């Protein structure tokens, strides 16, 4: 999952979800992930969109769930290595 603040105010308003193809640890012990080139899911404007072809945003996406909020409390991407967002 990648969380974005499109307005730059620190509030998450866009999320993408990509399939992890493989993972390993770097020589420094940090995780390294190999991902699909394009996301399978997008969350934006209170809707979850599905892109089963994973070919980027080009109009063939379908609504997976409407009127849904993304629970950002489950994801702490900014806390990795103590770095701020």
Instruction: Say whether pTM exceeds 0.75.
Output: no
Q: Of the ranges 13-22, 53-62, 75-84, which one carries the lowest mean pLDDT score?
A: 75-84
| Integer angstrom CA distances of residue 14 from 70, 73, 81 | 9, 14, 23
Provide the pLDDT for residue 9.
84
Structure-block tokens of residue 60:
């063939």
What does the pLDDT look like over 22-78, one tens digit per residue?
Answer: 999 999 988 899 999 999 999 988 999 999 888 988 989 999 999 988 887 776 655
The whole-angstrom separation of Cα 20 and Cα 61 is: 20
pLDDT at residue number 2: 85
Q: What is the span of the domain harbouring residue 63?
A: 2-82
Quote the pLDDT of residue 72: 76
Number of domains making up the chain? 1
């Amino acid at each position: 999952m990648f969380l974005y603040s499109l307005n730059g105010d620190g509030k998450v308003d866009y999320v993408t979800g990509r399939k992890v193809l493989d993972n390993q640890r770097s020589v420094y012990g940090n995780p390294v992930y190999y991902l699909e080139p394009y996301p399978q899911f997008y969350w934006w404007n209170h809707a979850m969109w599905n892109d089963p072809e994973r070919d980027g945003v080009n109009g063939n996406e379908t609504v997976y769930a409407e009127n849904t909020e993304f629970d950002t409390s489950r994801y702490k991407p900014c806390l990795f290595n103590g770095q701020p967002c």
